[in-house]
A = this chain, B = another copy of it.
Amino acid sequence: MRRLDSPSLHIFTADETVFHRIREMGTLGDAHWHAKRLTNPVELDNLPVGSLVMIDSAHAQRPDWNDTRWRAWAGHLSIIVLSSEPRDDEGILAMDSGASGYCNAYANEATLRQVVEVVASGELWVGRSLLTRLLRGVSQNLGKSAAPTSDAWRKALTEREVEVATMAAQGASNLGIAEVLGITERTVKAHLTSIFEKLDIADRLQLALRVHGVK
């Protein structure tokens, strides 16, 4: 981890109470972050890599769960989706869209702080309810041949390369990736060349197959 963690926490919500609670929270205790309000989804595009972002699922401007922008954001941001009425199915959608966390917007202070810390450290966070449900779902199907779903490619790559790889595997163009990451198309190509070499593959289609567990 060479990149300095951004001390700022960006919040996209229309709920005053939620915003203020999170902001206060950042000024207390050992956690110390800097809450910034976002008013428009496009602002997410230009946030520095690795930024921590909270998105209120109830916000009217929140992009649909299968909006392609989620992929891009997930590539370079750590996203926590807040829901004032958490439901398991919504949680699955959110996590599927690339969020790193899904929790109750009105969770108690300690929990919220914990979520932030977990996500900031690169892990994922979902609540007890959702997680048990996920486990139940899988253990029922355990009898079937469980696909390996190798995540190995991730470990072979650097942080930046993982970002580029995931976006490319989603079908993003080099230029598109470059714009989202705020770098040159040339650099994207460089990353991809390195990725191809490390994974011993020839092109982005093979990469997509690898990333998505085919082949």
**Known contacts A127-B123, A212-B214: A171-B137 contact under CB 8 Å:** no
Report yes or no: A135 in contact with B134, Cβ–Cβ below 8 A: yes
A133, B137: Cα distance in complex, Å: 12
Q: Which residues of B contact A72 (CB under 8 A)?
A: none
Report yes or no: B121 in contact with A114, Cβ–Cβ below 8 A: yes
User: Chain A binding site: helix, strand, loop or mixed by DSSP?
Assistant: helix
**Known contacts A121-B110, A171-B206, A212-B212: A96-B135 contact under CB 8 Å:** yes
Q: Which residues of B contact A1 (CB under 8 A)?
A: 108
Q: Which residues of B contact A108 (CB under 8 A)?
A: 1
Report yes or no: B123 in contact with A114, Cβ–Cβ below 8 A: yes
Q: Which of A139-147, A176-184, A185-193 contacts B (4 or more CB under 8 A)?
A: A139-147
* A124 at interface by CB-CB < 8 Å: yes
* A126 at interface by CB-CB < 8 Å: yes
Q: Which residues of B contact A133 (CB under 8 A)?
A: 138, 149, 151
**Known contacts A126-B131, A127-B123: A92-B138 contact under CB 8 Å:** yes
* A157 at interface by CB-CB < 8 Å: no
What number of A residues sit within 8 Å (CB to CB) of B? 47
Report yes or no: A138 in contact with B139, Cβ–Cβ below 8 A: no
Copies of this protein in the assembly total 2
* A10 at interface by CB-CB < 8 Å: no
A141, B141: Cα distance in complex, Å: 10
Q: Which residues of B contact A171 (CB under 8 A)?
A: 203, 205-206, 209, 215
Of B141, B208, B213, the contact of A208 (CB 8 Å cutoff): B208
Q: Which residues of B contact A126 (CB under 8 A)?
A: 131
Q: Can you list 25 A-B contacts with CB-CB less than 8 angstroms, sorted by A residue number?
A: A92-B135, A92-B138, A92-B139, A92-B142, A95-B131, A111-B121, A114-B117, A114-B123, A124-B128, A124-B132, A126-B131, A133-B138, A133-B149, A133-B151, A134-B135, A134-B137, A134-B138, A136-B149, A137-B141, A141-B141, A171-B203, A171-B215, A205-B208, A208-B209, A212-B214
**18 new A-B pairs (CB below 8 Å) besides A92-B135, A126-B131, A205-B208?**
A110-B121, A111-B121, A111-B123, A114-B117, A114-B118, A114-B121, A123-B128, A124-B132, A129-B151, A133-B149, A134-B138, A141-B141, A170-B215, A171-B205, A204-B205, A208-B214, A212-B212, A212-B214
